[in-house]
Amino acid sequence: MTNAVIVDAIRIASGKGKPGGALSGTHPVELLAQVLRALIDRNDLDPALVDDVIGGCVQQVGEQSVNITRTALLSAGFPDSVPGNTIDRQCGSSQQSAHFAAQGVIAGAYDIVIACGVESMSRIPMGTAPAGQDPTGPGIAARYPEGLIHQGISAELIAAKWKLDRETLDTYSAESHRRAATASDSGFFGAEIVPIAVRNADGLITPHEVDETVRAATTADSLARLGPSFRTDTVAQRFPEAGWHITPGNSSPLTDGASAVLIMSEEMAAKLGLIPRARFHSFAVAGDDPMFMLTAPIPATHKVLAKSGLSIDDLDAYEVNEAFAPIPLMWAHEFAADPTKLNPRGGAIALGHALGSSGTRLLTTLVNHLEATGGRYGLQTMCEGAGMANATIIERL
């Protein structure tokens, strides 16, 4: 069987996903274009050799509409002959991009492919895509007559079901910031962050190369002062079991970001004189209850472990996206996972969750962590809107 290998994986530093954020003055096409250019330049690769570019983006509207991946690769100077496609599996969009890319290589459809993702939450706010319309239709209304709920309320229900109290959530969240700050201060992120040129609030072009969302001074005590984000009298009456523990401090912040992974066959890497850093070992995707919405990393992980023949103890690191603190804690409880291996460089609570970019961002950090520690196997999983999740196992080479 053909092996699909990762030759390189990069990202830009996060920006706060609001007006005035470090990346808010830069068009999302340019965020992705600069990452794609950097990926090609770092590997001295002729972009004409790329068979396809597969990108993830969730809010495909406005500046992120009309197949932003194709637009970005053209903006990056790729030849007209290179195609691009943009997909939406909600928060796991670019993780799914990496799945499609690697599976295409394994199937023999591609020799070289780039998986990537982008999201500008400062310029295209969350919730923009439906444009005020009902995106579900009458069938969903009939199946779920009480109505589906916001993912923040789903996180509250998960916290209640797994008996995760406020102190536990805030302590975990503060640790995410501590780990991310330590990784940044030690220079770890220097291997994965590519500096890009951005336009600041004064209209000047400046370099951006440090994550804007990491708050090194965060403590559980400081987070304890924040109020709940999603409680209203109406939802409190509907869900009396909820403890209303989810706050801005134990949730991932709105974020701008872009990331990209260079994937090819092992044979093509050897032909080009490029050294593979990791190979794709196993893939899975799963669905779960859309009311709880964020629990699907559990069945997805069971599936990918079964396919891989590995156990949780065989894994050297796990990247479980921190959309909300209950998600990785729920996951760790279900698998009796080693907490020191869980998001060891911090997670989305600190590094941000730029929706369409997060899948390849997590993959980038996972590859670099395995290299830095000498680990062999790493798992990545991501909760996704409407009750889905992807899971990926990679093997460092």
185-214 residue pLDDT tens? 999 999 999 999 998 777 889 999 999 999
For the segment 213-245, what is each residue's pLDDT rounded down to a tens digit? 999 999 999 999 999 999 999 999 999 999 999
Residue 383 is assigned to a structural domain of this protein: yes
Q: How many domains does the chain have?
A: 1
Range of the domain at 295: 280-396
For the segment 316-331, what is each residue's pLDDT rounded down to a tens digit? 999 999 999 999 999 9
Residue 262 is assigned to a structural domain of this protein: no
- What CATH number is given to the structural domain containing 345? 3.40.47.10
Token pair recorded at residue 200: 């600041």
pLDDT of residue 324: 98
pLDDT of residue 337: 98
For the segment 237-277, what is each residue's pLDDT rounded down to a tens digit? 999 999 999 999 999 999 999 999 999 999 999 999 999 99
Catalytic residue list: 91, 353, 383
Residue 309 is assigned to a structural domain of this protein: yes
pTM metric for this prediction: 0.97
CA distance 31 to 161: 39
Residue 285 is assigned to a structural domain of this protein: yes
Residue segments in the chain with a per-residue pLDDT below the cut of 50: none
Contact at 8 Å (CB) between 389 and 90? no
Residue 151 is assigned to a structural domain of this protein: no
Residue 322 is assigned to a structural domain of this protein: yes
Task: Output phi, psi for 10, to 5 deg.
Answer: -140, 165
Residue 296 is assigned to a structural domain of this protein: yes
Burial class (CB in 10 A: 0-12, 13-18, 19+), 46: exposed
pLDDT of residue 43: 98
